[in-house]
Amino acid sequence: MLREAADHIDSRQAELLGNVADRAMAEYGRRRTRDKYVGEPIFREPGWDILLDLYVMTARGKRVSISSACIASNVPHTTALRCIAVLEAQKLIVRTADADDHRRHYIELTGDGQMLIERCV
Tell me: the pLDDT tens digits for 41-99?
Answer: 666 789 999 999 999 999 889 999 999 999 999 889 999 999 999 999 999 999 999 99
- Its pTM stands at 0.73
| Res. 12 pLDDT band, cuts 50 70 90 | low
Beta strands in the chain (DSSP E): 64-65, 93-97, 105-109
What's the number of domains the chain is made of? 1
CA separation for the pair 43, 39 (Å, rounded): 11
**More confident: 4 or 113:** 113
CATH of the domain at 108: 1.10.10.10
**Is the per-residue pLDDT at 1 higher than 50?**
no
- The residue range of the domain holding 101 is 2-120
Question: Which tens digits make up the pLDDT trace of 20-38?
Answer: 888 887 877 777 776 777 7
